[in-house]
Structure 1
Amino acid sequence: MRRLRLTFLLWAGLGVAAGSGCSKDNTLPAEAPAAAETHLVNSTLIGEYSTTALAGRVSNIPIAGALVRYPIRVYKLTYTTRNTDGQPVTASGALLVPVTTTALPLLSYQHGTIRPDDEDRAPSYYSASSEVYSAVLVLASTGYIVSAPDYIGYGASKALPHPYEHGESLASASLDMLRATKEFCEKEKVTLNKKNFLLGYSEGGYATMALHKLIEEKYPTEFMVTASAPGAGAYHKSAFADYILASTQPLNFLSTYVWVLDTYNRVYGINRPLTYYYNPPYAAQLQANPFSAVPDRANELFTTGFRTGILNKTDAAMAAAFRANDLHDWQPKAPLALFHGTADDYVPYFNSEDAYRAMRARGATQVSLHPIQGGNHFTSVAQYTLEALGFITQYY
């Protein structure tokens, strides 16, 4: 109980930096054959941190230093994974390893939205603005071996476009980072126990859900999920698209929704010109700069033809892309806690509510919904981290 209480205090103070952010019923084999090839390409020691140094890093947070248990070593791993076109690529991530001979659990931490012009926030850069720099680092010191993938499009693969909110590649990049982590631990004689935890918020929440689904449906003996706690993910993409395109109210985050649309247009080979999706002058502006400013009303930004096609269900190609990225309707076996602010105007609360209802309807008995009353996408982060860590600590 003392360990759990201290964890609450630390994470309530630190929080986790939020992002500026799988079809319904596919029949999948019980388990695909485990990959025979190795994934780890290289490992580089980034830094070693004593318990004194770790406590000093969080000295402004009451009692946080008392939670520090182990010195840690931080490594940058490079590893092989596959891009959205199936071609092999070299990706990267950060690995945080407590210095101890005790067998410890593995925790896969999926980060939130990072714009390409702010990519030094990716885990392997290990900069002060990175999510793994303070809060996740201290989590590792409490007794978790933390695998934190950069995803495709950052770090070693920064020359490639990031497949934003593409469930399949977020999951596979995270899984292959876990595989590389296991190979590293075998090589360096780091002892893992058999517990595997998953955490992430915003895009990281969506990636966490995608990873959980991939592991349980295809690789349940290679990695058995002990518990996962995704926060504020856009799990019901089809309903989310309808919500955006039917809205007559200002939406503060249309530029990131544009990023999702651009990803699906490219990844699924739809390849329509931007003039199909966007009104002038925004189509030309987005062609020149995909992150240029856009209006906050959907009817001003998106063409009538595109909006009508989605809302009337006549745009078969894009509707199929949204359905392929729906992650709300499946049956998880491991304990799964859904956290979400009820006043989230970036990723609306219904994404978690729809997932909870659909999963329970499928017979998932260990799924729970944890509303963060009155919290928006950013103010909910501290409570998410506090409660999510409390949730997984039950299974430590």
Structure 2
Amino acid sequence: MDFFKRFFGNPDSEKKHSRNEQGNSYPKYNYELEFLDALNKTPTNKLFGLNTYWEGRYKELLGNLSPILEKFLSQGMLEISLKEEALKVSELKKILNDNNLPQSGKKEILAKRVFEEVADKSYAANLIPFYKLTQKGQDAIDLYRENFFKEYYNFQLNQADLFLQKNLNELESNHFQFRELHPDQRYLLGKFDSFGERAKSILKKLCQNEGFRIKWNFLPEFEKRLRVLIAFKEIGIRLFDEFKNEYLKEIDLDELYPIIQGNPERLNFGSKEEFVTNLVNFEYQYFWNQGKLQEIIDYRKSSSNFRFQGIQVLNDGCECQAKYGEEKFTWDNIKDLPVLPRHVKCRCIINLM
């Protein structure tokens, strides 16, 4: 346990990290363990180097990476293995035979023996050494992920409460402050720190209880949670599926399933295992298109040099293309726009023409 305490720190001190002005605590990334996870199956030799995409971000977060690498290796969390797949067992044994070395053992042992004991390195291009997580390293990462998700889930529950309270400003501020803690965001220097106008429009429609695409009677608690999930899908929270599963665990999905399948349009949302995902995607696309339509209408009203002829439905990618063909609507007949999505797998979107 001492080993894990060194990585996860004092629980009392953890509660004090990364708080915003409202006192909300953000889940804390352990950048060393994020780095350890990223190292898995990364080449170790100078020719191939570390992964150029993430090496820079971890240098920014952790400084010199060499002593951290050495620590992982010395503590038995990481080992150097070989990409032996490129050579067959017979080829490995021939190399060993030619060099008067033992030919017994599994393929990984043969490859290791070739790599370490054969002086002629002409085979090296086919035996690239790479970092490989040990069970100890994997256990540390698994424990970290488990603890991180608990913090993350509580953080997103707070976000859900803010959404239901229609406090979109604080929700937005928290979202981007936490996003900046992620290694990707730090290295890529992302400064996208506010929701776009369409996202804000979608969130407002959702938290103001505008109707769903299908006019059915949801159980009140499920309707509330469905709105949160659609909002979170729009703003792109990380670990969305994990959050969704935990967020709905108190909902009796067995009881809900026949209600959903008995919707007025008789749309089939799939099996019990997938119907919630399909429903969230279906209603999300509806609110997205409503937001896009409102954006187009507002743009037309505010622009003095508006040259577009009307609205078209882009339906490339689903069965609507064959069924409805090219759909274009001038400003005089946009009242005839179809309500999208038209079916569970529909991918149609509204656009200007």
TM-score, normalised via structure 1 length: 0.27
Task: Give the greater-gyration-radius structure (CA).
Answer: 2
- Structure having the higher helix fraction is 2
TM-score, normalised via structure 2 length: 0.29
Structure with more relative contact order (C-alpha pairs < 8 Å, separation 6 or more): 1
- Structure having the higher strand fraction is 1
